[in-house]
Copies of this chain bind each other. A is one copy, B any other.
Amino acid sequence: MRLSMGVESMLHSCTMLGLLPPGKSLPAAKLAEYHGLPAAYLAKQLQTVAAAGLVEAGRGRVNSGYRLARPPDDITLLDIVDAIEGPQPIFRCTDIRFRGPCAADPSNYTAVCAVNAAMRQAEQAWREALASTTIADLMAAVAVDAVPEVADKSSIWLQNSLR
C-alpha cells in the first residue's frame, strides 16, 4: 500500500499557489514545469482537488489558472489527502466475523468488530496529525528552509510566468 503520487504533487502545488501574490493564478502547465512533473497528469489531479473545493480555476484569456479557494491556514493536509484518495477509510472491514460456519446473524452482535475498532483508532491518529498541519505551515517551512539560490531563481521565474 502506498499513497498516490498525486498527494505529493498536490501538496507541493498547493504550497506554491499559497505563495502567489494575492488574486493571482497559475496555470497547471506552469505548475508542472516548475516542479518538473508531467503536465497532463498534474492537470488531472488539480481537477480532483478543485472538485473538492480546495482550489478554484479561473478561465479566460489572461489571469486564468488555479488559485487557492480558501486561506492557506484553512486548508489542511487531511483535506488534500481526502480529496485525492477519497474519504473512505484506508482499512475497510469486510465483516469477516459475520461469515463462516460459526457466525451468528449480524443482528446478534452488539459490540463493533475488535479488529476494525483497533484499526480505526490508529487511522484516527493519522488523520488528526494530518488535520493539524495546514498549507500555511508548509509555506512557512519552505520559506525558512529555502536555499538562497533557489529562492532567487524561483522569484525571477514567477515574475516571468505571472502575467
Chain A interface (Cβ within 8 Å of chain B)?
1-5, 7-9, 11-12, 15, 33-37, 77, 85, 88, 90-94, 96-97, 99-104, 108-111, 114-115, 117-119, 121-126, 128-130, 133, 137-138, 141-142, 144-145, 147, 149-150, 153-154, 157
The reply to whether B1 and A147 form a contact with Cβ atoms under 8 Å apart is no
Could you list 6 examples of A-B contacts with CB < 8 Å? A77-B118, A101-B157, A108-B149, A114-B138, A117-B141, A121-B133
Known: A96-B9, A102-B154, A153-B101. A115 touches B90 (CB 8 A): no
Known: A15-B115, A114-B142, A126-B126. A102 touches B8 (CB 8 A): no
